[in-house]
Amino acid sequence: MKKFLNTPETLLVDALRGLAAAHPELRVDVDRRIITRADGPRRGKVGLVSGGGSGHEPLHGGFVGPGMLDAACPGEIFTSPVPDQILAATRAVSGGAGVVYIVKNYTGDVMNFQMATELATDERIATETVLVNDDVAVKDSTWTAGRRGTGATVFVEKIAGARAERGASLREVAELARRVNAASRSFAVALTACTTPAAGKPGFDLPDDEIEVGVGIHGEPGRSREKVRSAKQIVAGALDAILSDRPLTPADQPIVMVNGLGATPLIELYVLFGEVAAVLSGHGVRVARALVGNYITSLDMAGASITVCGADDELIALWDAPVRTPGLRWGV
Amino acid sequence: MKKFLNTPETLLVDALRGLAAAHPELRVDVDRRIITRADGPRRGKVGLVSGGGSGHEPLHGGFVGPGMLDAACPGEIFTSPVPDQILAATRAVSGGAGVVYIVKNYTGDVMNFQMATELATDERIATETVLVNDDVAVKDSTWTAGRRGTGATVFVEKIAGARAERGASLREVAELARRVNAASRSFAVALTACTTPAAGKPGFDLPDDEIEVGVGIHGEPGRSREKVRSAKQIVAGALDAILSDRPLTPADQPIVMVNGLGATPLIELYVLFGEVAAVLSGHGVRVARALVGNYITSLDMAGASITVCGADDELIALWDAPVRTPGLRWGV
């Protein structure tokens, strides 16, 4: 295993120190592992908190800032944050209007955010939990009952964040976030496994001429192992899975993300995006907004995911609203 | 070799199609391989053109847009663009105030931009060439006489682009660009080699327990092969090379980039950035602006580069100026 790190044990803390040094506009509590906006909490604003295992950067810490999250709670690599940590983040962003938890559907995350909800309720902080479960590849998975939560998390955090920024009630923000999740579907393909620093070796074996189709963001198995195929064929398969589950019509204004899983060059992501746009065009659907790059990764996995959100005027306007975070930034 | 592509021969064209589909604010001439701003040329504005081999994305096509480049000319993978292509880009951005060529110091690039200069002169388009040669690792290299041009290209394109946007003469923009280059130094380390699609196998052999110190962005050899070491030790060596060549004082306001070479997870880049900030702090130097991510890559190479620009108030103000490109965006 070759990685840029000091020790596997200090990887998260060392990375948080780097995040703090690079982004003075964030407040990074390295000891408690909480990343918040330096200008928070904002009185009367609904707070948005997300979190999950580390190893998916820029998600979630890289999406903290005006127009997106108020706080992120990173766990250890591929490990859920703990309830006390989530509670501390909740307190840190509570401005009296309640707090929305955005939770990717993994059993550990769901359980720990549920426990944090109970702790917050004891402190009279109202919360709403929004579960993201957009990955159409498999029904249940290694660490999941039901669909896994993956790329749609980026859309939910951005769009709900914009709505909260403009002023909306706890219920309104949560319902909008659920609507974004319901309109979104994802599918991922791995060319290689990822290596966690603790394990020191790839999480699964994949022959030199095979790909894992429908892989999860921790390397969970997908639908099938298949022989290497062209970008066009890979995209056709992924979009078939996505669109058969949630069809698009020419009236939709899809937001489309082609996301690298960590070790995939940008030039390859653009090849994939070109194929996605071509397939959608064949369905009479035009991409309304595009995001191509590394947004929700899986350490050093070579692979890519495609996420499609069937958006409308309201969601597009919120997508376009100003955002200022390390991972997504425009309009400011 | 596993990559997301259709055929090695169509990689560049397929990627350009994807770039065009994702970024309607750009004009992508797939046949002639020229990327320009959709709103260009701007009368009276100095045009900025860069280019070089593909495989370094987002550089250069991802840096076309308001506040940065007016055009980029991508060659084939790791291959210079040709003079006619550069001339066509020059014509496309010429607004009557002249055109600055930003050229990374590689023999092929230098030669082809020189030939384009002669062609442009024949058409009475005034040009100035700015050579970027910031890599302190080696004096001469596989494809270079003198120092290689690497990460500082991002700084030169951003800062000169801001100056041109505000209105400045051809000579002023070129001189500023040269000043940025002169104030910048880079150093890169590879954990793995990259694989070009045409070759289908890694460009060099690197044992599982060794790193290439001072590597070039095409996998050119560096200063030495060394045993795997900690992030702290790697940063110490890189900054020693950088700062012994161009010392910083507490009066400097350095812009610091920790750049992934293509297959390095963001969490590792933040570990490196934390170490860079700590070393500089030990010298009494505070990072003024930070950039952490993939900006000038080497296909699927696992590795990272550090670039430091000893900036001042003027350069910082231009760095902060609005930019709207696929790869760098803020203020708009």
What is the distance in angstroms between the Cα of B264 and the nearest Cα belonging to chain A? Answer: 6
Q: Is residue A39's pLDDT more than 90?
A: no
Are A23 and B290 within 8 A, CB to CB?
yes
Question: Best residue in B225, B270, B330 to probe A by mutation, most A CBs within 10 Å?
Answer: B270
DSSP A116-161: HHHHHHHTT--EEEEEE--B-S-SSBTTBSSSPP-THHHHHHHHHH
Burial class (CB in 10 A: 0-12, 13-18, 19+), B201: exposed
The full set of domains in chain B, from first to last, is 11-182 (3.40.50.10440), 184-322 (3.30.1180.20)
- Taking the Cβ of residue B259 and every Cβ of chain A, the question of whether any pair is shorter than 8 Å is answered with no
Chain centroid offset of residue B115 CA: 21
**Cβ contact, residue pair B299, A22, below 8 Å:** no
Identify the pLDDT of residue B141: 79
Flag whether pLDDT at A118 surpasses 90: yes
pLDDT at B80: 98
Q: Work out the minimum CA distance from B26 to partner chain A, whole angstroms.
A: 13
Using only the alpha carbons of chain B, give its radius of gyration: 19
Q: Give all strands of the β-sheet with B34-37 in edge-to-edge order.
A: B26-29, B34-37, B71-77, B47-54, B99-104, B127-132
> d(Cα B257, Cα A126) in Å, to the nearest integer?
41
Provide the pLDDT for residue B177. Answer: 98
Q: Is pLDDT at A143 greater than 90 in this prediction?
A: no
Question: Which pLDDT does position B221 carry in this prediction?
Answer: 87
Q: How confident is the model over B117-171, as pLDDT tens digits?
A: 999 999 999 999 999 999 999 888 778 889 999 999 999 999 999 999 999 999 9
Say yes or no: B186 contacts chain A, CB-CB below 8 A. no
Please answer yes or no on whether B267 and A15 come within 8 Å at the CB atom: yes
Task: Give me the residues of A, 27-56, that contact B with CB < 8 A.
Answer: 54-55
Catalytic residues of A: 56, 218
What does the pLDDT look like over B167-214, one tens digit per residue? 999 999 999 999 999 999 999 999 999 999 999 999 999 999 999 999
SS (HEC) of chain B: CCCCCCCHHHHHHHHHHHHHHHCCCEEEECCCCEEEECCCCCCCCCEEEEEEEECCCCCCHHHECCCCECEEEEEEECCCCCHHHHHHHHHHHCCCCCEEEEEECCHHHHHHHHHHHHHHHHCCCCEEEEEECCECCCCCECCECCCCCCCHHHHHHHHHHHHHHCCCCHHHHHHHHHHHHHCEEEEEEECCCCECCCCCCECCCCCCCEEEECCCCCCCCCCEEEECCCHHHHHHHHHHHHHHHCCCCCCCCCEEEEEECECCCHHHHHHHHHHHHHHHHHCCCCCCEEEEECCCCCCCECEEEEEEECCCHHHHHHHHCCEECCCCEECC
Whether B77 contacts B70, CB under 8 Å: no
pLDDT at B332: 83
Average pLDDT, chain B: 97
pLDDT tens figures, A245-260: 999 999 999 999 999 9
pLDDT at B197: 96
The whole-angstrom separation of Cα A62 and Cα B6 is 32
B299–chain A Cβ distance below 8 A for any pair: yes
Q: Chain A window 273-292: which residues touch B at a Cβ cutoff of 8 Å? A: 273-275, 277-278, 287, 290, 292
Share of chain A above pLDDT 70, in %: 100
pLDDT digits (tens, 9 = 90+) for A269-281: 999 999 999 999 9
A200: pLDDT confidence band, cut at 50, 70 and 90?
very high
- Please tell me what DSSP assigns to residue A66: T
Summarize the confidence of residues B58-65 as an average pLDDT: 98
> Residues B258, B262, B267, B273: what is their CA dihedral angle, to the nearest 10 degrees?
-10
User: pLDDT tens digits for A209-255?
Assistant: 999 999 999 999 889 999 999 999 999 999 999 999 999 999 999 99
**Residue B254: per-residue pLDDT:** 98
Identify the pLDDT of residue B140: 82
Contact A67, A325 (CB under 8 A): yes
Q: How many CB atoms lie within 10 A of CB A70?
A: 31
Do the Cβ atoms of A18 and B273 come within 8 Å?
A: yes
pLDDT digits (tens, 9 = 90+) for A85-101: 999 999 999 999 999 99
- CB–CB contact B266 A191 (8 Å): no
- Identify the pLDDT of residue A218: 94
Mean pLDDT of B27-41: 95
pTM summary value = 0.98
d(CA A80, CA A54): 8
Task: Show residues of chain B in contact with A278, CB under 8 Å.
Answer: 17, 21
pLDDT at A141 over 90: no
Calculate the average pLDDT of chain A: 97
pLDDT tens readout for residues B251-292 = 999 999 999 999 999 999 999 999 999 999 999 999 999 999
Partner-chain residue, chosen from A265, A273, A300, that has the shortest CB–CB distance to B21 = A273
Structural tokens at position B158: 């951003």
